Amino acid sequence: MSSLSERDAAMAWTRICEGEDVRAYQLIEERGYAGALEWLRAPKKRSDWGEYAQVAERWAGRISDDAFQRDRRTMQGLGGFLIPSDPNWPQSLEDLGERRPLGLWYRGDVTALASPSIAIVGTRDASQYGSRVATDFAFELAKMGVVIVSGGAFGIDAAAHRGALQAQGRTIAVLAGGIDRPYPLRNENLFSAMLNGGGLLLSEVPPGASPHRHRFLARNRIIAGITRATVVAEAPYRSGAINTARHALEIGHEVGAIPGPLTSVRSAGCHRLLRENATCITTAAEAAELLGYTSIANGVQGALDVVYRRGPTNNPLSLRVQDALPVTHAATLQKIAATAGLSAQETMRGLGNLEMEGIAESVGGKWRLAKRSA
């Protein structure tokens, strides 16, 4: 097979290795997608692979030109594929470091990735209470223009997606299998409604890939990575939703948890998170604050009257720094600079402007969005 482009080689790598393959990420960082694939094809004996020998043998067993060509044919007219150099690539995924996906297959309107988004996740075995709050919160947030991200599963995931659709908002499902075979099958109508409503299906695995259990755990980091905030609506003490929240906490993204009845095992995970530094969320407006929104209530049962972005600031540099600022847990200058894609000097200049405008505040040498009264 002739040499592949970087994009085609990236597609091939999503078939060659599984998600969270740090060694594959390191090799591709060294050689590029196409260079890494050519290197993998070249050795005549195992010793030629050097420090990558153990994993390269596993990768080489998955090289299939027929499968690579079939993946590209499947996606023609169905969707597309993103790599980090694309303008629509979610830059917040870079917070995952060596665990970021090598590429993303998608169906739907990829511009949904550019809008402010919140992940709403939780148990598949949702109670009536959990389904209600997930639906209501997603509805209110979607009305504010926030894109709702979840995993497309039964229970809380489906309730969150439906809440966004009821508000005629956009919603994204990150799948554990190929985007040409959304899972679970009983949510087929939901997935169709999401696509028809300007939403998106995403996956790091190639077309036709089965949603194996380990892929559900791997995709949780993508849900946490493409959003700046994750809200757990209802989850037992140990669950995939708690796994998603932990990924978000590890990379410095905001995490909120909705409390439930003290006697409910379905809410035990939310209460666990609240003891471990998550923000207590009781309204959609509070969830929006995780993104840096400020609410003005009209005084009637706390109903939201106006929601707006913190600011305003008209300086392009300051805007980039502002978007990179965390809401609750202050971050270092280096972390903010990396998120904003700016130098430390540029970031410091932007922080100075934002501090003078009352938008940013310094806490123990770190920075976050300034707290404001409603």
- The span from the CA of 184 to the CA of 180, in Å, is 12
- The span from the CA of 234 to the CA of 162, in Å, is 16
Q: Where is pLDDT greater, at 21 or 312? A: 21
Summarised one tens digit per residue, pLDDT across range 107-154 is 999 999 999 999 999 999 999 999 999 999 999 999 999 999 999 999
Summarised one tens digit per residue, pLDDT across range 166-188 is 999 999 999 999 999 889 999 99
Percentages helix, strand, coil for the chain, rounded to the nearest 5? Answer: 50, 15, 35
Q: Which two tokens stand for residue 291?
A: 């993104």
Buried b (16+ CB within 10 A) or exposed e, 315-338: eebbbbbbbbbbbbebbebebbbb
**Residue whose C-alpha is closest to residue 370's, from 328, 334, 337:** 328
Distances (CA, A) of 326 to 27, 60, 135, 232: 31, 42, 26, 18
- The span from the CA of 356 to the CA of 350, in Å, is 10
- The span from the CA of 238 to the CA of 222, in Å, is 19
Residue tagged 């060694």 (tokens): 23
The pTM of the full predicted model, rounded to 2 decimals, is 0.80
